Amino acid sequence: MAAHSSYKQAFHGFQASDSSVFITSIVPLRLVCDTDSNNSKIVWQNPRPSSTRYCRPLKIAIIKESSEVSVAEKNRVDTEIQQLQNSKLNLNSRSISVSHNMIFAMIDGNICNALTETTSTQKCYIFGATTKDFNDIDKMINREITTQNLQFGISVLHGWIRFFEVLLHISYKFPIKKWQAGGEDKRKEPKKKLKNIPKDALDLLVPPTVTEYQSNEGDDDDDSFLTDSDDS
């Protein structure tokens, strides 16, 4: 997480700032029990694996996200995983050993591009293809993928979001029959018309209006504090 709103409390030191926070978290996905008969039983499974509900922070750093920071943190976590030992406990006169299988999948596009050395956000980190390459279906079917990049996972939720995002952009440009519009005015009218459909039917704004200035401490900036000069 980076570049969120800065808090209004002052930091001591000109280099200190909380405008960018880089967080590394761990999320439990599944607890599996292996019996003596070599049968596996799922004891618990995360009902929302793509959610931050069960996130527990491993490290919180006040630092701006960059490719160098992402790669260094990934290497640090990999080193800790290699040194990770089984968790052992005794329960009802029985010895239980828990082994840990860690995967690196809950990341955003910027970090994924940094770790896979993908230089463009318009380029697929699995196929190494751009939007122009994807238009050639026959070529894409026979294109080899970078299998080692599959370790970062493919989010089904983000897949659906991107899919409907593409449909939305196609609908904007469908009247002009061009992928790249020369000016914003050509897309403004169909874009406005389509945004009014969910607003009229469901009373929803797509996308919601985002204000330029947001407070992360409520309305306390509206409060007035008297100073010595005000009392006089």
134 and 193 assigned to the same domain: no
pLDDT of residue 44: 94
State percent of the chain over pLDDT 70: 67
Q: What is the token pair recorded at 192?
A: 């406005």
Q: Is 219 a member of any domain?
A: no
Tens-digit pLDDT profile for residues 85-140 = 999 989 888 888 899 999 887 787 788 889 999 888 888 888 888 888 888 888 88
Mean pLDDT of 31-54: 85
Please, which pLDDT band fits residue 199 given cuts at 50, 70 and 90? low
146 and 180 assigned to the same domain: no
Mean pLDDT of 56-64: 90
Q: Is 8 a member of any domain?
A: yes
Q: Is 42 a member of any domain?
A: yes
State percent of the chain over pLDDT 90: 21
49 and 3 assigned to the same domain: yes
Q: What is the pTM of this model?
A: 0.63
74 and 22 assigned to the same domain: yes
Q: Is the pLDDT of residue 5 over 80?
A: no
Q: Is the pLDDT of residue 218 over 60?
A: no
pLDDT of residue 9: 60
Q: Is 227 a member of any domain?
A: no
Half-sphere exposure at residue 94, Cβ-oriented, CA atoms within 13 angstroms: 6
* Amino acid identity, position 74: K
Mean pLDDT of 33-48: 85
In the chain, the number of structural domains is 3
Q: Is 172 a member of any domain?
A: yes
Please, which pLDDT band fits residue 2 given cuts at 50, 70 and 90? very low
Do 193 and 206 touch, CB atoms closer than 8 A? no
Q: What is the DSSP letter of 190?
A: H
69 and 3 assigned to the same domain: yes
Tens-digit pLDDT profile for residues 160-169 = 887 888 888 7
Q: Is the pLDDT of residue 74 over 60?
A: yes
Mean pLDDT across the chain, nearest whole number?
A: 77
Domain that includes residue 63, residue range: 1-85+99-106
Residue of 154, 147, 74 lying closest to 109 (CA atoms): 154
Secondary structure (DSSP) of 68-119: HHHHHHHHHHHHHHHT---EEEEETTEEEEE----------HHHHHHHTT--
Residue of 29, 31, 33, 28 lying closest to 96 (CA atoms): 33
Element (H or E) spanning 58, and its range? strand 56-61
Q: Is 181 a member of any domain?
A: yes
Q: Is 189 a member of any domain?
A: yes
Strand partners, 109: none
41, 75, 106: which is the final residue of a domain? 106
75 and 14 assigned to the same domain: yes
Q: Is 218 a member of any domain?
A: no
150 and 173 assigned to the same domain: no
